[in-house]
Amino acid sequence: MCRCDPNSPLDKDECGGSTMRPYGVRTILTVGVLAIVVIFFCTLLGCSWVGSSHREIDINSGDIRHRTYICSLCVRNEIEESPFSQEVRRLQIAIPRTRTWKRVSTRFFISRRHIDYTYGPTIAACNLLVETLTEANISDEQRRDVLQRFLAVLPSATSRIILMQLNELLEDIERIEKR
């Protein structure tokens, strides 16, 4: 018969107890604090693996993808239709089946840094173009022509070229509307 008292010479396994001592509260707190300190300093130093959020645009259709990474693992991957891509689909403009994603912006969580890339102004440009087309009194055929011209520039464009093309198209829409 086993008596499981602390002064017993028998091993705890023989008594049905555990020989492992549970982690102390101090150990758990120490590991937690160290993890927070390491993550904080890595974020300040610009380690993007700690946590970041990315916005990307599919230059073939105008769809927008939101991706969130924590410790280099993608924890969120959502694709949404933008007003631009909805208009492209409504007008049945032929677009490639494959998606070509270009990063628009990145935001780092703790350091609150925000980086805009080459395609940074693209979403705003697409939205402005669609808003202008919505307000303009032009036919679907003319809308299709404007959107196709803008889509043709996107694959090889820089932000400057995108904005120049947008200005040119806005002027064309104004000319078409005056006719």
114-168: pLDDT as tens digits: 777 888 889 999 999 999 999 988 899 999 999 999 999 888 778 888 889 999 9
More confident residue, 53 or 14: 53
Q: What are phi and psi of 26, to 5 degrees?
A: -65, -40
- Give, to the nearest 10 degrees, the angle between helix 140-153 and helix 159-178: 160
Q: Domain of residue 78: give its range.
A: 44-178
Residue 37 in any domain: the answer is: no
Q: Which of 133, 93, 128, 111 lies closest to 48, judged by CA?
A: 111
Share of the chain above pLDDT 90, in %: 42
Which helix (DSSP H) or strand (DSSP E) does residue 168 occupy? helix 159-178
Residue 11 in any domain: the answer is: no
Q: Is the pLDDT of residue 71 over 60?
A: yes
Residue 109 in any domain: the answer is: yes
Q: Could you give the C-alpha distances from 142 to 37, 58, 88, 146, 147, in angstroms and in order?
A: 58, 23, 13, 6, 9
Residue 119 in any domain: the answer is: yes
What is the domain count for the chain? 1
- What pLDDT, in 10s, does the model give residues 113-126? 777 788 888 999 99
CB 142 within 8 A of CB 175: no
Residue 88 in any domain: the answer is: yes
**pLDDT score recorded for residue 157:** 75
Residues 169 and 9: their CA atoms lie apart, in Å, by 90
Per-residue exposure over 43-78, b if at least 16 CB sit within 10 Å of its own CB, e if not: beeebbebbbbbbbbbbbbbbbbebbbeeeeeeeee
More confident residue, 41 or 60: 60
